[in-house]
Chain A
């Protein structure tokens, strides 16, 4: 079959509505008589609530109701946590604080008013009598004891977990060399450009609640919210309209989502809450938040023998959906792209007086890649070898796959050396090193950083997931020949309305303009898992692909029946079923339809003209299947197929990133010279979308490496609570990316795709930090913690350790 869309740079079908300003995000949906909700949030990081006086707020103009923690404690169930770990301590996480607050931004009361200005005004009229308590924000201090956040637990340790394979003690005992390094992964704020938002509408007669929410997981959210508010799941419909970015922050079930539904049911009116940016930084999950010690054992020739990572994970005050699970993903990926015989992670998950950490793009895996890549840089520096060669020495060969790691995984496929070679060739690595050497003689500070990463994608096999790791698809051809695809994935910028349509259009031999991909509506789409963990194409796309094959099997049977051919005597090409030549010899040659489907009289379906035909388009078969007058015996009417794809393994994309920077000696400013990325995400459906994912991921890494950091002070006050203080990369901060790919298909799915959504945030930070550290090597620098700011660099150059 001619392959006309897959592999091409097809423009996105979702774009016209977005570039014209005609798309609908949650706040763009207006329902008559909508009430607006605003939240009273804690200004203390840890305090006892003596009382909440709502009387002044209730008397304010436009205010309809005010709900406090006491009002809802018995009505709305706790915020769910799906991280099932042995002996995990799970605090009772109520949707509104009852007797204590545990972090700045902790919701205390919900104010409902007739417009958003009135609701915000009334928030200031709710009088909360706090009694402040000692605060603990430092993760190691919290782990050591002292102030206990959740008193009933006796300490702040949510869990301890040790994982890994191989004899780690023997590896270190027998090693010729060992190294240690402390590394910090600061807290990051995901900052989707669209903050969270919920619109809830309850119909009391039908007893049906609809929630429009800016989420990545409409079906999982429906199940959880139904349980939280005690509504039968099939009476709750969750719709994700346009979602303005997620990056993991909307892979969650939040208190506000359940509360808005419950409030709408109390008041029998639509209720809307749109998160402000300040709330977003206070009370939407953060990412990263680890303090750890790396220990690495190796031989004099650079062969790795063992890696140990002792980590304190800053979980925050409560568990959100996946909070405790994130550090375990770090443990899974500690082998990176290397053969390491013994690996051990020792995790201590710790409660602190801060917002919960959870999945932020990469979710535990960027930490792992950073750890193992920093370890490789330290090994290279210790041995005086080139960091690229230190890596090359420890790669498994391309014929060693599936490759078993000491973290218990089996990497599906890979050719790590090919990606490194290609990146070095594009970068002109040898010449770059020569330039660096010459530059140093001239006093220039040029640095080159290399990262050869592996990530784990296509989450995942259900055995490894808390609530199913499969994905669903329905492909249906309507009576008019238009193709409808329903996917359980929930794209929010990734472009699967286009890439899934590419797959389907090729398989059915139809125009991409005749294919519509529907997602994010539990009232329309069969159950699905959602979009996260770089899974949508590898798992959801595969479900679509297999569903199309099932649909074609049925279409072929119908075609053979109508064309009067034996099964197996019908061929399919370019959207048309034909009787194979030998069998068609005796048939009359009328193969053109009298008029094409869709051009019949207005308001009437065309009559299929099947008499004497030797070929039929798939659209004609769909019409015949719908009219059901010419179906083979025991064939269900309609032309639709559904498939739930369960992957047998994860996929493991990989690549090499090379960053080149130059440091301004006068200011400490870090300037980009080059950025080369060679990524291998298996087969590519749409290279333009892949490039976009890689660009965006790398820039989030640039943010982490050079700008971003959620800062709480010792009192637990959030001092990076606006975009003035929380620095995101802007257009003038980014290099001109030089991207290329290698293509190693995944054997895990028939499309051969691996996933690319998180590659940039996983592969890039070590390359960037490596480059900056390399530039500062003449000053004896071996490691720096992110974000590395010009001020830090200037102090190193000027040998200034003082504080401002």
Chain B
């Protein structure tokens, strides 16, 4: 008993018939072949599967694809514009914010929401904002610096807000 869903993923309209129990992350990965979104725990605890759903960071491993009907989704593949890295992506590269890279797409999406809400976060605010995402490699310090880099870069781009 498949259900019909219509949604926008990285700016592209999609219409598909999916099983009601299909998880959003499996829809993105297996149906749309957007494998940048990873599964790390299946229980919302690690954040590797984080995507933006109508601008909000959500854990796509615990949302059904049918719940995203009508929504606008952004995955890590949709973050760069015209081949230009998003400032958060650039920050992760410049500041060595990743090692194995598995948590990275989720971290980047969470950090993107964090900066959308707070353009000049303190270190404490960054740490708080990243609480829902686990990284086992970096010890977080370079991730925090990557987010700071992105915040500074965005500030430079849009005039001095701080």
Residues of A within 8 A of B (CB): 11-12, 14-16, 18-25, 27-28, 30, 116-117, 191-195, 242-245, 247, 274, 276-278, 492-495, 688-689, 691-692, 694-700, 722-724, 728-732, 734, 736-737, 760
Chain B residues, Cβ within 8 Å of A689: 96
Given known A-B contacts A194-B102, A698-B139, A20 and B89 have beta carbons under 8 A apart: yes
Given contacts A28-B35, A695-B138, A728-B136, whether A11 and B94 have CB atoms under 8 Å apart is: yes
Closest to A116 in B: B26
User: Within residues 89 to 124 of chain B, which ones have a CB less than 8 A from any CB in chain A?
Assistant: 89, 92-94, 96, 98-105, 108, 123-124
How many residue pairs, one in A and one in B, have C-beta atoms under 8 Å apart? 176
Residues A18 and B35 in contact in the complex (CB < 8 Å), given A193-B134, A277-B40, A277-B42: no
- B80/A20 in contact, CB under 8 A: yes
Q: Do the beta carbons of A730 and B131 come within 8 Å of each other?
A: yes
Given the interface contacts A11-B93, A19-B93, A243-B100, does A722 sit within 8 Å of B41 by beta carbon? yes
Alpha-carbon gap, A698 to B137, bound state (A): 10
A and B contact pairs by CB, cutoff 8 A, 28 listed: A14-B101, A15-B92, A16-B93, A18-B104, A20-B85, A21-B105, A23-B101, A25-B102, A27-B29, A192-B136, A193-B103, A194-B38, A194-B100, A245-B99, A245-B136, A277-B42, A493-B137, A494-B99, A691-B142, A695-B139, A696-B137, A699-B138, A700-B139, A722-B43, A730-B131, A731-B143, A734-B127, A734-B141
* B96, A12: Cβ atoms closer than 8 Å: yes
Further pairs besides A193-B40, A731-B131, A737-B139: 7, Cβ < 8 Å: A20-B36, A21-B76, A30-B30, A193-B48, A193-B100, A277-B41, A696-B99
**A15 pairs with B102, CB closer than 8 A:** no
CB-CB under 8 A from A28, the residues of chain B are: 29, 35
CB-CB under 8 A from B76, the residues of chain A are 19-21
A197, chain B: closest CB distance, angstroms:
10
- Interface majority SS (helix, strand, loop, mixed), chain B: loop
A247 to B85, CA, bound (A): 30
Q: Is B65 an interface residue (CB 8 A)?
A: no
Chain B residues proximal to chain A, CB less than 8 Å: 19, 21-22, 26, 29-30, 33-43, 45-46, 48, 75-77, 79-80, 85, 89, 92-94, 96, 98-105, 108, 123-124, 126-128, 130-131, 133-144
Residues from chain A with Cβ under 8 Å of B102 in the complex: 25, 192-194, 242, 244-245
A247 CA to B124 CA, complexed, in Å:
28
- Given A19-B108, A696-B136, A492 and B41 touching (CB < 8 A)? no
A692 touches which of B34, B48, B96, B128 (Cβ 8 Å): B96
> Nearest chain A CB to B77's CB is how many angstroms away?
5
Q: Evaluate contact between B35 and A245: CB separation under 8 angstroms.
A: no
User: In the complex, which residue of chain A has the Cβ closest to the Cβ of B143?
Assistant: A731
**Beta-carbon contact of B137 and A723 below 8 Å:** no
**B89 closest partner in A (C-beta):** A19
Enumerate chain B residues within 8 angstroms of A494, measured Cβ to Cβ.
Answer: 99
Measured CA separation A19–B101 after assembly (Å): 7
Is A21 a contact of B34 with CB atoms below 8 Å?
A: yes
Q: How far is the CA of A278 from the CA of B43 in the complex (A)?
A: 10
A737-B96 Cα distance, complex, nearest whole Å: 15
Are B136 and A695 within 8 A (Cβ)?
no
Complex partner residue of A193 from B128, B136, B142, CB under 8 angstroms: B136
Inter-chain contact A22/B99, CB cutoff 8 Å: no
State how many angstroms separate the Cβ of B149 from the closest Cβ of chain A. Answer: 12
Asked if B40 and A195 sit within 8 Å, CB to CB, the answer is: yes
Question: Who on chain B is nearest to A702 by CB?
Answer: B139
A377 CA to B114 CA, complexed, in Å: 43
Name the one of B30, B98, B126, B139 contacting A18, with C-beta atoms under 8 angstroms. B98
Nearest CB of chain B from residue A724's CB, rounded to whole Å = 6
Is A247 a contact partner of B101 (Cβ separation < 8 A)? no
Q: A20-B80, A21-B36, A696-B139 are in contact. Are A242 and B101 (CB under 8 A)?
A: yes
CB distance from B78 to the nearest CB of A (A): 9
Do residues B42 and A495 form an inter-chain contact, with CB atoms below 8 A?
no
Residues of A within 8 A of B103 (CB): 193
Q: CB-nearest residue of chain B relative to A737? A: B141
Q: Find chain A residues with CB under 8 A from B48 CB.
A: 193
Which residues of chain B have C-beta atoms less than 8 A from A19's C-beta? 76, 85, 89, 92-93, 98, 101, 104, 108
- Please tell me which one of the listed residues B36, B43, B140 contacts residue A723 in the complex, with CB atoms under 8 A apart: B43
Q: List the A side residues contacting B93 at CB < 8 Å.
A: 11-12, 15-16, 19
List the A side residues contacting B142 at CB < 8 Å: 691-692, 695
Contact of A692 with B131 at beta-carbon distance under 8 Å, contacts A19-B98, A193-B102, A492-B100 already known = no
Q: Which of B19, B43, B98, B137 contacts A117 (CB 8 A)?
A: B19
